[in-house]
Structure 1
């Protein structure tokens, strides 16, 4: 059990560093998309700024940010470039939960270097693990391993053969076959390739139960469990990208103000822009309100109840699909400038790639409605469904 069960807060230092990285990340974003992975200058800068350690438990030298701090830092990186924000959110989450939940032997090896490890993989489509003396033999194929082209370790969900137990398994990257099939609409610079593992032995210490919510090290944020922490990731990403879209549209129309026939002089556009801004800010407010409430519970030593679990899912779903509406509005308002290859087109594509993530799928929304309507008495959340 953790020696520090209360919520850790680290202040604004990482947020300020993230803001300092904006120009570099923005400048490198086009080249990153073309090559299907983040550029080396960006990855090095992220390491040097401590971004891959933002989620890592403080006893391991990480920042161990609170949920609201994570929302702010990851939103800033996602504003600079959606693919960069996506890679950092995925890797920092895996780094943090690995540091909190893995056994001592694994943690001593993985977190001992001058840089934080970078872990990438997939936690939603399970492979199969066969128990052996001292560990497990893991096989399977997984998709959408964001950041794997930069990683030193993979993070993969597997189900123990003969049981229903799901575990996360950490394997060195040289034991992973990277399938390299990354040809997608958006988020191209994330390099979220598919990969396979064939009969690799994983020591017990390099695995943990999937739904573990009591950390071996670190504080109360790890009591959320892996899935709820992932909801922070995707909420922060949508916050950053939505703000960038609206800011870019304002800049775009501003440069054309005063020219005959431009959208900047349209009363209808003014009204629609106001509505888009209001929808986005309202969705943002719901996310902040929900995680403020969750933080108060964690800070008091508690765990989220069923209604709070519902609300963190609902807030993400609402924000994600509000973001999609904002992206459609910005693209339509951008005219031929949005049609051509450029920033608005890339943001539009990235948003519609991001909406396909399972965390914002329709099942979760239906279950939220059922719980909010009082139709799920005695049920609790298991991933994206309520069960008795």
Structure 2
């Protein structure tokens, strides 16, 4: 089945994503040149309901199985890696908002369910100050992907006197974005630095990050949807994995055509036993890269539907398995790219663009298999494994106490 054909047996979001392939693929080269996703592509994904895949049904969302959303993102990324990246980033933010206050969700989606939210979660030394009724924040953040298309942005910062960082949701009109996204790959994501100068943020637009990651957010009092009982660590680990998967499959398909292209020498993959072995290995690894994350997301979703809580080891294992995609797919590209003709390095050649996109996706924090591997190994040994997206039991217990005091539970 080609990328433009939709099977009746596939989930709705995946079918819709496949139908957008031709138009999004046609714009891909221009997206890299202009360094942001084409507005028509954003509109098409909104109209298809893709950006609302993980959004609460109470606010016009699909509340889809995360494994389905993951697959839909990878289909868009086959057409354009940067566009798939933006879909994943904007999509996971609607999942996060469902955990936050009803007041904030009414602000965001009450009048317009198609509202888009960008982010930059790394604290980068920024510290908010608690004041009556909320917080005051000043600082700067790097690489907020999709901010050109968004009307709100979520920013991470430490808070004076608080044990955990917070996420703050701020109208884009109250921040300054800086056009500094001059990068090696994923050039079309439209990422920008964000500057905030002494902005007041009401309490209902902020959340303790440990509370959020432990599943104790105030929004969960208003929804029984199993989607929001899936650990945040699995949802957010998918950020680089799904776009990388789509780019990897596109690289593989384009490679089969590009390998023999030459004006002077004719080559055929079918006549080269070494290349046949490499090609088989590449397809096999892509199959693993597509199958394992969907299985892990499906397992987590099934557990949530059944009211079961996965063990720490199951969650840590799933995070590690999903995060491996970046390395696995880059290794495929790194193995095959040097075997192409020299014309593959020209800026007009899709192969070099896909190669660079895959490299940068591999460099994202969510693809850091060393961090996730360390956490998994520690949990497997009975130790309190911890990293930025996985909290040990004592921190989850402390977050639960804070959530109870705040009236979230």
If the length of structure 2 is used for normalisation, what is the TM-score? 0.85
Q: Which runs of 4+ in 1 moved over 3 A?
A: 224-227, 253-256, 259-264, 384-388
Aligned residues: 375
Matched, 1:250 2:256: yes
How far the C-alpha of 1:384 sits from its partner, in A, is: 4.9
Deviates more, 1:345-354 or 1:137-146: 137-146
Measure the CA separation in 2 of the matches of 1:175 and 1:288.
38
Name the residue aligned to 2:398. Answer: none
Name the residue aligned to 2:300. Answer: 294
How far the C-alpha of 1:102 sits from its partner, in A, is: 2.4
SS in 1 for 2:111: coil
Measure the CA separation in 1 of the matches of 2:289 and 2:30.
32
Q: Are residues 250 and 65 of structure 1, via their aligned partners in 2, closer, same or farther at CA, if it must alter by over 3 Å? A: same
Measure the CA separation in 2 of the matches of 1:118 and 1:133.
29
Name the residue aligned to 2:201. Answer: 202
How far the C-alpha of 1:152 sits from its partner, in A, is: 0.5
Q: Are residues 362 and 73 of structure 1, via their aligned partners in 2, closer, same or farther at CA, if it must alter by over 3 Å? A: closer
Name the residue aligned to 2:85. Answer: 86
1:111-260 matched pairs, under 5 angstroms: 111-125=109-123, 127-211=126-210, 212=212, 213-214=215-216, 215-218=220-223, 219-253=225-259, 260=266
How far the C-alpha of 1:209 sits from its partner, in A, is: 2.2
Name the residue aligned to 2:329. Answer: 323
Superposition CA RMSD, Å: 2.3
Contact 1:55 1:96 in 2 (8 A): yes
How far the C-alpha of 1:369 sits from its partner, in A, is: 5.3
- Unaligned regions of 5+ residues in structure 2, if any? 1-9, 395-409
How far the C-alpha of 1:269 sits from its partner, in A, is: 0.9
Measure the CA separation in 2 of the matches of 1:13 and 1:296.
19
Measure the CA separation in 2 of the matches of 1:305 and 1:170.
31
SS in 2 for 1:232: helix
Q: Deviations over 1:81-115 (max 9, x none)?
A: 110011111111112211x1222222112102345
How far the C-alpha of 1:380 sits from its partner, in A, is: 4.8
Q: Deviations over 1:252-284 (max 9, x none)?
A: 34777xx73455532211111111212222333
Name the residue aligned to 1:283. Answer: 289
Deviates more, 1:222-231 or 1:322-331: 222-231
Name the residue aligned to 1:307. Answer: 313
Q: Are residues 232 and 119 of structure 1, via their aligned partners in 2, closer, same or farther at CA, if it must alter by over 3 Å? A: same
SS in 1 for 2:137: strand
